[in-house]
Amino acid sequence: MAYIISDECIKCGACESECPVNAISEGDEKYVIDADACIECGACAGVCPVSAPSAE
């Protein structure tokens, strides 16, 4: 079960730099997580100031 980023995302980029497998990239409206690359470590959720990433 990969993580997803909700519409609460403020595009700060904290999650992208924290991801150990580079599964996060900047999208048009928010950052997005590649579900196939996500290892479900939760690092993104731990650094997000608005709690946008969550387990799908």
**pLDDT at position 56:** 87
Main-chain dihedrals φ then ψ at residue 43, nearest 5 degrees: -60, -40
Does the domain at 3-55 match CATH 3.30.70.20? Answer given as yes
What is the distance between the alpha carbons of residues 24 and 15, in angstroms, rounded to a whole number?
A: 7
**pLDDT at position 9:** 99
**pLDDT at position 21:** 98
**pLDDT at position 8:** 98
Please state the pTM of the whole predicted model: 0.92
